[in-house]
Each structure stands twice: as structure tokens, then as C-alpha cells.
């Protein structure tokens, strides 16, 4: 009768032989033979009563003891871990409570400090506003006084300037009348914008069918001259004078001073450009100023 049994706990029947350390697949079988009245090994497999089987049983016993010790140690480790986690949780809870108390106390102090600071700031702002208002009022009073005094001085200076200008203008007109001089200003189109002196007196004394005394304003310079003295401003001298004026207005001639002899009389004419405010570094010519002087009576002494 033969009996088959697994001598190792794993289901695949693996076994590590202590002598060789080589893993083998082994199935232990007990087979009883009555040959010679002795128990023999069958097919080269150790029997249950072999020395190796005894060592294996001892090893399995030790393995079971080790497993039990490991299980006991695992249980103790789990208990210790649980206790440690409980202590840590308790410590964290206590720390959280203390932190919350500290934060609450700090917030209370900050709120009190902030409130006190706001009160002080409000007081300082109020005091500053009062000081600023006082200083502003005093400054406005001083400024008003200074402006009033300056206005009075400006009015006095303006009156003096007008009086002086009037006197200077009268003196200039008187001098031009005595020297038979005419001063004129024209724009870029040769339109008269100012006329003073002898020709102005003649123009106002005999306006050509115009009601206004200043009929000559905004008129072509040479048309006015021809109307006042058609015998003088004609022919080649007039053409030459027009060319000189056009050259000054175009910037081709910086200025021009010439003497003309017309019908036994001598005239000196000076032309100069009038420039406006500089634009991009260049002042554009806006017109021309000139004077005409009849110096026939003084020619012998010049």
C-alpha cells in the first residue's frame, strides 16, 4: 500500500533541499515494501522516516515560530503606531488651539492699534488742513495785494508808455513832414498796411472818391503812389522799384537802398524785409518796410 503526501506547506510541492540549496519539484511518497522485512526508498525519493525529513520538520517548526513572532511584533508595532498617531493628533490639536488663540490675540491687538492710529491720523489731518487753510488764506491775501499793486503800476506804466508813444509818434510825423519822408509797410502781396508821412497827408487831403481818410489801406502800394503822383511813379523807375520790392519780399534781396532821379527831383528809397516768428529755425518773410525821402532841396548839402 502506498500513500502520497505533501511535506511542504505550498501547494505546488516545491522544496529546498538544505544540502544543495537547489529548488526541486518533489513529491514525497511513502511506499511500504516487505522485501527482506525492510523499509526501502522508492524511486530515489526519501521516505518519511529519513534524516532529511526530520530536519525539514524542525525547519518548518522554526518557520512557524518565526511567523508567530513576526505576527506578534506586527501587532505590537500597529499598537505603538496607533498610540503614536493618537499622541501626534492630540499634540497637533493642542498646537492648533494655541495658534488660534495667538492669532486671535494678535488680531485684537492689531485692531486696537489700527483704531488708535486712525484716530491720530484723523487728528493730524485735521490740524494740517487747518494750517493749510490758514496759510492759503494768508497767501491769497498777499497775492491779491501784490496783484493790485502790480496792476496799479502796470496801469501807470501803460499810461506813461501811451503818452510817450503818442509824443514819439507826433515827433516822428513832424520830422518826416519836415524832411519830406514817407514811411510805409506792405504785406507779401504789396498791400499797404501802414502809411505815415508826406504821402499820407496828401492821401487824406485828396481821397479819390472815397469817403474814408484811410482809403489807401489794403491797396496795392504802387497803385496808391500812382494815384497820388502819376507824374513821378511811372515808366522805368516804377518798374525798377517794383522789381526791388518783389526781390525783398521773396528773400532774394536782403535789403535795398537806392537813389532815383525823377523829373528833376531826387528820391532815396530804402526797403527792408519784415520777418515773423522763427518756425523750424527759419523766420519767414511776412512783408516789407520802406521809406521814401525827397531830398531834392538838400542834395547840394549832402
> How many angstroms separate the most distant Cα atoms in the chain?
188
Residue 296: which pLDDT band, with cuts at 50, 70 and 90? confident
Give the tens place of pLDDT for each residue, 61-111.
999 999 999 999 999 999 999 999 999 999 999 999 999 999 999 999 999
Identify which of 44-58, 91-105, 178-192 has the greatest average pLDDT. Answer: 91-105
Alpha helices (runs of H) in the chain, residue ranges in sequence order:
51-178, 198-205, 221-228, 235-250
Predicted confidence at residue 264, as pLDDT, reads 75
Q: Which CATH code for domain 180-301?
A: 3.30.450.20
Burial class of 198 by CB neighbour count within 10 A (0 to 12, 13 to 18, 19+)? buried
Report pLDDT digits (tens) over 10-27: 444 444 444 443 333 343
How many C-beta atoms surround the C-beta of residue 286 within 10 A?
14
Q: What is the mean pLDDT of residues 119-130?
A: 90
Q: What are phi and psi of 73, to 5 degrees?
A: -65, -40
Share of the chain above pLDDT 70, in %: 68
149-160 average pLDDT score: 80
The pTM (predicted TM-score) of the whole model is 0.41
- To 10 degrees, what angle do helices 221-228 and 235-250 make? 150
Cβ pair 273, 249 in contact under 8 A: yes
Other C-beta atoms closer than 10 Å to the C-beta of 245 total: 20
8 A C-beta contact, residue 64 and residue 56: no
pLDDT at 153: 81
pLDDT in tens, 275-288: 888 878 788 899 99
**pLDDT, position 195:** 84
Of 68-72, 97-101, 211-215, 266-270, least confident by mean pLDDT is 211-215
Angle at the Cα of 224 (from 223 to 225), degrees rounded to 5? 90
What is the pLDDT, as a whole number, of residue 77? 93
Contact 288, 270 (CB under 8 A): no
Q: How far is CA 242 from CA 44, 49, 178, 209, 219, in A?
A: 149, 154, 26, 26, 15
Amino acid at each position: 500500500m502506498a500513500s502520497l503526501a505533501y511535506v511542504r506547506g505550498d501547494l505546488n510541492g516545491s522544496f529546498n533541499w538544505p544540502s544543495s540549496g537547489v529548488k526541486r519539484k518533489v513529491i514525497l511518497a511513502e511506499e511500504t515494501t516487505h522485501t527482506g522485512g525492510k523499509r526501502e526508498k522508492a524511486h530515489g525519493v526519501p521516505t518519511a522516516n529519513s534524516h532529511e525529513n526530520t530536519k525539514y520538520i524542525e525547519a518548518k517548526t522554526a518557520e512557524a515560530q518565526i511567523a508567530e513572532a513576526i505576527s506578534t511584533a506586527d501587532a505590537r508595532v500597529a499598537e505603538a503606531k496607533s498610540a503614536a498617531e493618537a499622541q501626534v493628533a492630540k499634540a497637533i490639536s493642542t498646537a492648533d488651539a494655541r495658534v488660534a488663540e495667538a492669532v486671535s490675540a494678535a488680531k485684537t491687538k492689531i485692531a486696537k492699534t489700527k483704531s488708535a492710529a486712525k484716530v491720530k491720523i484723523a487728528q493730524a489731518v485735521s490740524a494740517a488742513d487747518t494750517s493749510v487753510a490758514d496759510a492759503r488764506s494768508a497767501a491769497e491775501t498777499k497775492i491779491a495785494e501784490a496783484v493790485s499793486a502790480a496792476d496799479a503800476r502796470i496801469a501807470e506804466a501803460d499810461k506813461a508808455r501811451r503818452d510817450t508813444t503818442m509824443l514819439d509818434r507826433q515827433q516822428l510825423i513832424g520830422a518826416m513832414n519836415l524832411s519830406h519822408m514817407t514811411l510805409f509797410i506792405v504785406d507779401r502781396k504789396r498791400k499797404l498796411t501802414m502809411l505815415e508821412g508826406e504821402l499820407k497827408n496828401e492821401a487824406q487831403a485828396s481821397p479819390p472818391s472815397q469817403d474814408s481818410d484811410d482809403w489807401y489801406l489794403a491797396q496795392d502800394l504802387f497803385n496808391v503812389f500812382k494815384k497820388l503822383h502819376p507824374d513821378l511813379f511811372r515808366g522805368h523807375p516804377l518798374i525798377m522799384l517794383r522789381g526791388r520790392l518783389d526781390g525783398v519780399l521773396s528773400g532774394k534781396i536782403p535789403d535795398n537802398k537806392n537813389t532815383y532821379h525823377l523829373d528833376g527831383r531826387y528820391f532815396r528809397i530804402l526797403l527792408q524785409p519784415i520777418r515773423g516768428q522763427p518756425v523750424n529755425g527759419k523766420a519767414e518773410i511776412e512783408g516789407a518796410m520802406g521809406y521814401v525821402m525827397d531830398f531834392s532841396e538838400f542834395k547840394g548839402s549832402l
